[in-house]
Amino acid sequence: MRSAALRVVSLTGSGRVAEAEKQVNALANASPRDLVAIVERLAPFVESGDRHKRVPYVELQLKAAELLLKHRDKLAKAEQETLDRRLGWVYLANGQTALAVERLSMLTGDAPKNVSLQREIAHLLEKHDDRECQSLARQCWRRVETATKPGSPEWLIARLGVIECNSKLGQHDVARKLFENTRAIHQDLGGSETKARYMAADQELKRRAEAAR
Answer whether residue 199 shows pLDDT above 70: yes
Instruction: Read off the pLDDT band of 2 (50, 70, 90).
Output: low
Residue-wise pLDDT tens digits, 101-124 = 999 999 999 999 999 999 999 999
Answer whether residue 1 shows pLDDT above 50: no
Q: Is 126 helix (H, G, I), strand (E, B) or coil?
A: coil
Q: Is 152 helix (H, G, I), strand (E, B) or coil?
A: coil
Average pLDDT of the residues of the chain: 90
60 closest CA partner among 79, 82, 38, 29: 38
**Which regions of 78-130 does DSSP assign to beta strands (E)?**
none
Q: What is the DSSP letter of 149?
A: -
**Chain-centroid distance, C-alpha 152:** 23
Which pLDDT value is given to residue 15? 86
3-state DSSP helix/strand/coil percent for the chain, to nearest 5?
A: 80, 0, 20
- Report pTM: 0.86
Query: d(Cα 24, Cα 29) in Å, to the nearest integer?
Result: 10
Q: What is the DSSP letter of 36?
A: H
Name the burial class of residue 174, with classes exposed (0-12), middle (13-18) and buried (19+) by CB atoms within 10 angstroms of its CB.
middle
Answer whether residue 50 shows pLDDT above 80: no
Q: Are 134 and 125 in contact (CB under 8 A)?
A: yes
Which pLDDT value is given to residue 123? 95
Answer whether residue 79 shows pLDDT above 80: yes
CB atoms closer than 10 angstroms to residue 116: 9
Residue-wise pLDDT tens digits, 127-136 = 998 999 999 9
Q: What is the DSSP letter of 2?
A: -
